Structure 1
Amino acid sequence: MKKILIILTSHSAMEDTESKTGVWLGEFTDPYYEFIDQGYQVTLASPLGGSPPVDPLSELTENITASNRRFKDDALAQGAFNNTQKLTGLNAEDFDALFYPGGHGPIWDLANSEASGQLILDFLDNGKPVGAVCHGPAALIAAADLRPGFLQGKVIAAFSNAEEVLTGRSGKVPYQLQDRLEALGANVKTALIPFTSHVERDGILLTGQNPLSAGPAAKALIEVLESLR
């Protein structure tokens, strides 16, 4: 059975506001059920372990997805989510693929996590696919810190500057993710229309732009993983 590691943020605070962030729930549940329904074994981890914070906005009615509703009735999935493993001690050799959901949290903790950055490099160096969606690609920054030039020329999708402005949160984050990734040499490609699904593939690196891209990014990861059999 193929094993997929999903790494979630542990960070909930925004800059200069009482507003909270964390995991964008649909960006976890959409990929989670794509993987589970294909028979993969999924392990959840986060920098601090335990229960990750959930962005309150992702639980509003207008942002609820079918997978969110399924998750609410899935005691097994909720148990796994509330008891994530700590990143430290995890080894790429124990898994077949790696995936990062978004929510704003990763731009703080996963972007600066040496353990997470090393896992990304280890997966890719060993021919194992890595996926990320929305703000999840912030985790690639840590990999670039460990290996300068890592992002140079890589084609990726990530939450765009335009989308950040449209959410009204551009002043509540320490940097714009698109700008930071481009400064590290990445070729960030975005959808013509904000908040529409957009996925990019660069070898075995799969990235999605926004919440609507979470399921498609997971499907792209599955396609690559199956092609490696």
Structure 2
Amino acid sequence: MADQFLGYRYAILLGAVLMAIGEFMILGGTENWLLIGMGAIIIGNGYFKANISTIVGKLYEEGDPRRDSGFTIFYIGINIGALLATSVVAYVGETYGFKYGFGLAGIGMLLGFLIFWFGRGTYEAAQGLDITEKGKKKVVGPINYVHLITLASVALIPLCYILISKNEILQYLLTGLFIIVAFSLIRAGAKEGAIWRDRMIALVIFILINIV
């Protein structure tokens, strides 16, 4: 989605906004607010998590020895953030209520949004940051593909809410989706030869372990 339409920067900013909105929704304090907030976080995380690491990789040419160092610094930052979040949010949650812990996470996400936007000059070397020409193409009137994808992403939040609230449906859906993805990966790997086939099988096993 990002490489075809949105560009990595817009995808990350969109993901950050959706996750922040979801975290603030949970401040509502009811089960419905919790579930719809989780729906927004799920959609936002899909845009944010994959593309932020892609930008790190795009900062360096293939074979550049600095790439490993870049990812090391990147993951150190993630782990430091996870440690601080676990400590601070847990304290706020136990002291004032866990909905306020999510509110604190929302504030942190907005701060991250601002740092990423105003610090954009530090990662301009990465390729694929800007919205693509395909993304700017008009669909209906002034609405282009980027507008359409953004609106569709917001519209998916209620769908996520329904799926989360209906666990039995979600379980069957995820099982079916896993089977389709696993088959597609192994089939694509087999076309590239035995080595890639075995790699895809290993990847499917790791995905299964992560799910379980």
TM-score by length of 2: 0.26
Which protein has greater RCO, CA pairs closer than 8 Å, 6+ apart? Answer: 2
Computing the radius of gyration over CA atoms, which structure comes out larger, 1 or 2?
2
Could you say which structure has the higher strand fraction?
1
Could you say which structure has the higher helix fraction?
2
